[in-house]
């Protein structure tokens, strides 16, 4: 992409052009240098949107719940974006679930932008490009950005590295509360939603959750439990009220800026880690000495930790040599 084309795309994105936003996210998701250049250009225009993260097990109704919240926000004439992080297809590495299907009623609304993004095997259910996508949505003038994770268990906790407010969605009768307790997930939400609340075990689940929350250290914000029936729109108003209350709370406390600082620092580290891993994998694949070392691990002649130490020492030595004598790391 030429510099002029990049400037044009950035200008269209900042003007709220949905096609420009879609193109920009595709560039970032493809790890195209033009995408990262674009993020760099529009980044000063970000920081205005409310980033809301939704996590929970598959089938809990996250997409339906987000659809109801989008309807609520649009009634207030707010610009909205939804980023659903799907499991990757093992063949195409593309988004597999297609959660956008459950948000069809909003497709033609010019004030709503909906995008699925493949997690490409990211253990935490969020791809490396997820926050970049959210930043682009923010730059495009979206006031509310909803992030929906894959819901893959313990590693769901990485959503705290992306959202201002974290919502954990649970479903009665599924054992979700106990599983969440085991995984440590109960430590991350700002709001807990028990969806499909017409289930006869709803009250039992609410009691279990309250018991779990009572064991956690008490913070300034007391995590509310909201019962909803997203398909019927029940409980949505109460959920919106709690979302607004939490937003006001972290703004008044000054913790919103602290969260965002932490989120951005973690994103920098995540991008560094992902790129270093790709570089390391490329080196291992092409270098016969590394392959011989790994073969020793396979034959049980060398343990994995010792092999890793050897590889890192050799890489560090090679980097020092490349910098030349007298150089400082």
- 184-196 pLDDT, tens per residue? 666 788 999 999 9
Q: Which of 99-103, 230-234, 285-289 has the highest mean pLDDT?
A: 230-234
User: Does residue 208 sit in the same domain as residue 303?
Assistant: no
User: Does residue 215 sit in the same domain as residue 117?
Assistant: yes
Residue 33 lies in domain: 1-45
- 164-186 pLDDT, tens per residue? 999 999 989 876 556 655 556 66
Residue range 216-233: average pLDDT?
88
User: Does residue 78 sit in the same domain as residue 41?
Assistant: no
Mean pLDDT of all residues belonging to the chain: 82
The H or E element containing residue 50 is strand 50-55
Model pLDDT, residue 94: 41
Model pLDDT, residue 259: 87
Does residue 39 contact residue 28 with C-beta atoms inside 8 Å?
A: yes
User: Does residue 183 sit in the same domain as residue 291?
Assistant: no
Model pLDDT, residue 105: 66
Model pLDDT, residue 5: 63
User: Does residue 104 sit in the same domain as residue 81?
Assistant: yes
User: Does residue 37 sit in the same domain as residue 84?
Assistant: no
Residue range 142-147: average pLDDT?
95
Model pLDDT, residue 178: 60
State yes or no: pLDDT of 156 exceeds 60: no
Is 259 inside a domain boundary?
A: no
Is 122 inside a domain boundary?
A: yes
Sheet architecture: strand order including 165-170: 112-118, 80-86, 144-148, 50-55, 165-170, 191-194, 225-227
User: Does residue 82 sit in the same domain as residue 209?
Assistant: yes
User: What does the alpha-carbon distance between residue 134 and residue 131 come to, in Å, rounded to a whole number?
Assistant: 5
Model pLDDT, residue 284: 83
The total of structural domains in the chain comes to 3
Q: What is the pTM of this model?
A: 0.82
User: Does residue 176 sit in the same domain as residue 90?
Assistant: yes
- 56-95 pLDDT, tens per residue? 888 888 889 999 999 999 999 999 999 988 654 433 444 4
The residue ranking higher by pLDDT, 94 or 46, is 46
User: Does residue 120 sit in the same domain as residue 234?
Assistant: yes
User: Does residue 38 sit in the same domain as residue 75?
Assistant: no
Is 260 inside a domain boundary?
A: no
Write the CATH number for 145: 3.40.50.300
State yes or no: pLDDT of 3 exceeds 80: no
- 98-135 pLDDT, tens per residue? 444 456 666 678 899 998 886 554 433 355 677 788 89
User: Does residue 63 sit in the same domain as residue 116?
Assistant: yes
| Residue 238, Ramachandran bin (φ over 0: left; ψ between -120 and 50: alpha; else beta) | alpha
Is 124 inside a domain boundary?
A: yes
């Amino acid at each position: 992409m030429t510099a002029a084309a990049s400037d044009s795309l950035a200008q269209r994105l900042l003007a709220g052009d949905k096609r420009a936003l879609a193109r920009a996210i595709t560039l970032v998701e493809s790890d195209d240098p033009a995408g990262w250049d674009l993020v760099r250009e529009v980044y000063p225009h970000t920081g205005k949107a409310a980033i809301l993260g939704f996590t929970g097990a598959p089938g809990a109704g996250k997409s339906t719940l987000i659809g109801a919240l989008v309807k609520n926000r649009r009634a207030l004439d707010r610009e909205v974006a939804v980023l659903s992080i799907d499991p990757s297809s093992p063949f195409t590495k593309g988004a597999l679930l297609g959660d956008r299907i459950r948000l069809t009623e909003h497709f033609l609304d010019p004030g709503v932008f909906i995008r699925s993004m493949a997690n490409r095997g990211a253990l935490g259910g969020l791809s490396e490009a997820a926050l970049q996508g959210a930043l682009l949505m923010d730059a495009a003038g979206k006031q509310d950005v909803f992030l929906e994770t894959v819901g893959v268990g313990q590693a769901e906790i990485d959503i705290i590295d992306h959202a201002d407010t974290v919502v954990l969605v649970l479903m009665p009768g599924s054992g979700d509360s106990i599983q969440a307790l085991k995984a440590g997930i109960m430590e991350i939400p700002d709001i807990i939603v028990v969806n499909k609340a017409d289930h006869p075990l709803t009250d039992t689940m609410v009691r279990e959750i309250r018991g779990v929350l009572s064991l956690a250290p008490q913070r300034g914000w007391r995590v509310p439990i909201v019962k909803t029936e997203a398909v019927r729109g029940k409980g949505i108003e109460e959920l919106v009220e709690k979302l607004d209350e939490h937003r006001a709370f972290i703004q008044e406390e000054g913790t919103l800026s602290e969260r965002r600082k932490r989120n951005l620092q973690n994103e920098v580290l995540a991008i560094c880690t992902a790129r270093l891993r790709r570089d390391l994998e490329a080196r291992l694949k092409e270098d016969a000495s590394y392959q011989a070392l790994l073969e020793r691990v396979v034959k049980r002649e060398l343990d994995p930790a010792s092999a890793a130490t050897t590889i890192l020492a050799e890489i560090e030595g090679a980097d020092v040599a490349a910098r030349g004598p007298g150089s400082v790391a």
